[in-house]
Chains A and B, each alone.
Chain A
């Protein structure tokens, strides 16, 4: 049986709406990761996971490694270069001192990430000191300026391609806020000036330079010392830049990770609030299912890609059809024909616009009013000045009065009634957890909603309802398996992880396929803790009396080997512990989930 990879990841009846996130080659990004490799990056540590200290260098490198892995899956047309500065060895086309461009075989310096790059970069720290080495490149009495050199090399790497078709960025990781601090006045001034000029030249060429500063709880990275000028921050921006220095390493990593993405606008739309009052919004696809890439057919003899040719053939005559055919629907014993333009015309209702219809209390937004992933909207003053002001005012009012807006969104392919739900900004330890804005939720129509819960009661009697005791027993059980810190998207998709682990191993011609962990597997151990078992038994007894086992044996499904084993483990676990003692302590349960929280 032939399996289409897109089918593999979807439920039978669904076709995920892919229009939003498919990347095309025309919107690619060129990124140079510029990593400070000075001694200070290795000597400064942060308390990381498991009480083990991490160096800033490690933090930067692991952020980049993580980003490369994401990128090869979701944005594989983007090109990257990895470049260290303040190094002992040098390797770059300009032959400048203190700059080392890291690369692997069969790859240009600025190129798409490959399996080999990911693999070798993963173990860069083992070989770094031996092969590249750390050496601070700006010392008194020398004309060398490693930061200047680094920017120059990065800019040269980014010479490729036109800024019209690609975003070009330099991401600079450093923990040194005063790179010329050791120099005397005149030399310092001079080097500062030339470095700033180099940065400005790059920026004038359309390259954006972004700073990813690393700081420690006891020594805050002071952006205004030098880097504010380099990246062009002033006033409010500057104040916003370093929201909090005393953050945990995990939070800092989180922030770095978020800053490494560029925002991609999906569409710019007009939000029609009233006659003559239409504001400008940008829409963003913050949540879309990631599916494995499309398959490419290969010739199994040569392993060369095959060209797929699709042709339309008339079934009556066998003739090839060139022009886009008409469409038809059999109806009333005949074929009713439509032109493709007519179909487009039928769907065209307030095209490209979002029209406000009114507001409703949030309680009206039922859990089952959902069809597709939501779309995020955020105002823009780029075209229509004043948009943001109205947007903020409406946003505040909607939050204050707990109301959402109902609007009609005239998307050309899929016009739909939508709910706009205001989301307040949520920050935690300086990092933005939820951005401020509105989420557009696609509402179902009457024909999209089913009432299958109403089809079964074919008896005269009322439906059974739990009594107070049963509810209390259920509540006790729920409390035992309660997770305090759950985030909606903390699990990696095990199928996707497996898919790419297999691909990576095969791409590198490795014999063993690495094991991938399924983070979504339940914490069986936690669930068989006596306290949980006892609560479950109590609930079971209150609902089923003594007939539970009978009940479960009636099931048509045979118990699998695995679940029989689990059952045995569970029963043993229950036997071995002192129930009363352990249960009363209310131990935290679900280790796996709790661990994942700190990712």
Chain B
């Protein structure tokens, strides 16, 4: 336990050019500590910021220099205060020097640990590296960095650099950036660590592995190509899902006065025989396991079972090689394994390299049968694919994916697309619109892949840890909304959508969707059952759900939680025309209530979303009256109260009157509609 304790110093650039991303840096670093508090409570951490006006570090006092570097926190065992510190990083005023910061960080680690804990000491630098570092007194910058990097390697330290670039760094001098990149790459080579370049706030949040998992081999032994050709390999997990933490059950039975109460809950199982009216608890030794076989339950004792069960021998054997196209990607069953040659074994490394490269050239994969350990009661059949290393320091390796057995596959038949009626077949224009979407809504334009899994944080876990931190301070804190920076993981990037407005317009022009009018009631009910529980979600704050795609869940009333969704659902209930009227009336009341109960305008945003939905609904139903009345009412209300922000909000979203061009029954001209809020003159405060 103790020997795995990590000693980490964060080196954070807080200079002016970093201010735009500092809130992400704060989130990332506090998440790091939050997870350490749960999973690695004894890790130690120090925080250094650079780019600050003042200077506070040992080196500046001892030897001078090292200006604009502040040790925010000396190295200590992680605690809650560290989270607080990291959540309010200072905003610096000067452009920092990352090399000075690295030296300060090293100095801290050396002073504290001498040359102990090799390999457990780590520096993590987050900077945009767009400002030149100071020239050294002797030798070139490169020489200087080389010396420092060698010293670092000798001390058994590693440095991880996260460099914020692209959209996130403003116009910077390319020469300086290249120079800095080169200098940082020296560290990376000498201490065998990586530099990560990120160009979106989302990927910045995913750039640092916030939880350190000690690698454990799944298997060490031979990869057997044939009975007399074996290669020594180690197998690790390449992917493994970081699960939602398993929370313990909490008991409130103990009196509050009991300070020593553990509040733990024990789950106990009792096995009872039910014979007529009497029940009796059966002791463990009188129990026997039964296995279902059709309607029968077959009792088998553990000893019997051990005698007959399947007992394969440990080992990994190649069953054959085959063409990569034979294995469909969707057949991969589980998380993925990594096969590497036994570390330090040059021959094995060469053998793996040769096989991997030959496979790559031939576009071949290997089928393997694996029994990871003695005593395992099943075999795993899977596919080995080559992983040709792009980094000359890192050996070639393989990935291994588990494949299904015959019993695991349901071979359902689905209709050929050609068999559908002509009306279901896309015509040329529709096909073109789809082609454009597939090409233009591009997440990987030349080398800039967005949402790269390696840099994409898990939004659910992020939200959990944030809620945990909030709750630690305020036990009844509500579940926080999804972080803005993580919206891009769960919703389309608004910029990308805006850039492709014409593509989406074409899509809307060429494709039409409508509710199936012939739908039988029974199937609707079925659908409702399946969907229940999903209609109570909190609005994501956007009135984007179209009326035609709402699940037909019977909505009787517009609730406070998701008024927009409720409204849209109610409007689409076609079994009775009164729903429309009721929906409009109720949403109108909801909007007015939101206005009146708004404190400093905190509910305006929600009100505006409701207005947007109401407007859309009223146009669809060609019922401009109620909406226009409401708008007049709102304008009057705002004029009386001297509220400016709400009309501005409404105007900015074009939520003005419904004009005649939009609904025949309206008597408002387009011009009137346009100038509706412009003409508004708030009364001066009395």
Contacts and interface: CB of A to CB of B under 8 A. Distances in A.
A332 B411 contact: no
Nearest to A432: B413
Nearest to B284: A2
B104 interface: no
B514 interface: yes
B443 interface: yes
B343 to A, nearest CB: 4
Interface in B396-424: 396-397, 399, 401, 403-417, 419-421, 423-424
Among the interface residues B346, B391, B511, which one has the most CB atoms of the partner chain A within 10 A? B511
Interface in A436-478: 436-437, 439, 441, 443-458, 462-466, 470-475, 477-478
A533 B228 CA distance: 8
Given A412-B534, A456-B340, A528-B227, A494 B310 contact: yes
Contacts of B48: none
A450 B354 contact: no
Contact of A296 (B34, B292, B443, B456): B292
B417 A395 contact: yes
Contacts of B460: 346-347, 349, 415
B361 interface: yes
Given A383-B519, A488-B403, A536 B293 contact: no
A237 B420 CA distance: 9
Given A325-B265, A464-B349, A306 B271 contact: yes
A48 interface: no
Contacts of B467: 342, 346
A59 B532 CA distance: 45
B314 to A, nearest CB: 9
Contact of A298 (B249, B289, B409, B463): B289
B172 interface: no
Contacts of A315: 251, 262-266
Contacts of A268: 527, 530-531
A393 B508 contact: no
Nearest to A390: B511
B242 interface: yes
Contact of A486 (B322, B393, B490, B540): B322
A3 B253 CA distance: 34
A287 B227 contact: no
Interface string B266-308: 1111111111000100100011111111111111111001001
Among the interface residues B38, B247, B354, B393, which one has the most CB atoms of the partner chain A within 10 A? B354
Nearest to B403: A488
Contacts of B548: 276, 278, 384
Interface string A368-379: 111111101010
A105 to B, nearest CB: 13
Contact of A434 (B272, B328, B401, B491): B328
A453 B340 contact: yes
A321 B265 contact: yes
Given A288-B408, A521-B369, A272 B236 contact: no
Contacts of B442: 358-360
A67 B669 CA distance: 70
B242 to A, nearest CB: 4
B326 A487 contact: yes
B351 interface: yes
B354 A539 contact: yes
B91 interface: no
Contacts of B262: 315-316
A277 B238 contact: no
B461 A447 contact: yes
Interface in B425-441: 425-426, 430-431, 433-435, 437-439, 441
B519 A489 contact: no
A308 B261 CA distance: 29
A443 B241 CA distance: 10
A506 B300 contact: yes
Given A432-B413, A483-B367, A593 B491 contact: no
A112 interface: yes
A162 interface: no
Contacts of A518: 310, 312, 379
A406 B313 contact: no
A598 interface: no
Contacts of A275: 504, 544, 546
A421 interface: yes
A51 interface: no
B392 A337 contact: no
A446 B460 CA distance: 13
B492 interface: yes
A567 interface: yes
Interface stretch (A4-12, A86-94, A128-136, A214-222): A4-12
Nearest to A113: B294
Nearest to A419: B329
A279 B248 CA distance: 40
Interface in A130-170: none
A544 interface: yes
B513 A481 contact: no
Interface string B321-346: 11100111111111110101001111
Contacts of B431: 393, 396-397
Contact of A352 (B413, B444, B551): B551
Given A277-B546, A464-B395, A481 B334 contact: no
B530 A312 contact: no
B252 interface: yes
Contacts of A593: 319-320
A521 B253 CA distance: 57
A563 interface: yes
Given A296-B290, A489-B404, A328 B247 contact: yes
B241 A448 contact: yes
Interface stretch (A181-189, A197-205, A224-232, A253-261): A253-261
Contacts of A471: 354, 357-358, 361
Contact of A450 (B239, B294, B455): B239
A13 to B, nearest CB: 7
Interface stretch (B208-216, B584-592, B650-658): B208-216
Interface in A278-336: 278-279, 284-290, 292-317, 319, 321, 325-336
A470 B321 CA distance: 18
Interface in A474-510: 474-475, 477-479, 481-496, 498-500, 502-504, 506-507
Given A298-B297, A314-B265, A358 B489 contact: no
B297 A367 contact: no
Contacts of A387: 513
B399 A368 contact: yes
Contacts of A576: none
Contacts of B347: 543-544, 547-548, 551
Contacts of B59: none
Contacts of B38: 329-331
Given A289-B408, A361-B444, A520-B379, A326 B294 contact: no
B381 interface: yes
A287 B330 contact: yes
B354 A499 contact: no
B206 interface: yes
A417 interface: yes
B413 A259 contact: yes
A496 B405 contact: yes
B412 A532 contact: no
Given A306-B273, A371-B239, 17 more contacts: A331-B34, A343-B244, A347-B460, A350-B540, A383-B516, A445-B453, A448-B335, A450-B215, A450-B240, A453-B340, A456-B343, A471-B357, A477-B229, A507-B293, A527-B227, A552-B230, A570-B228
10 contacts: A2-B302, A258-B411, A306-B282, A319-B253, A397-B437, A445-B206, A450-B213, A493-B379, A513-B308, A560-B313
A-B pairs, 10 with minimum CB distance: A278-B549, A466-B354, A276-B546, A439-B330, A393-B434, A327-B247, A435-B414, A393-B426, A358-B443, A493-B405
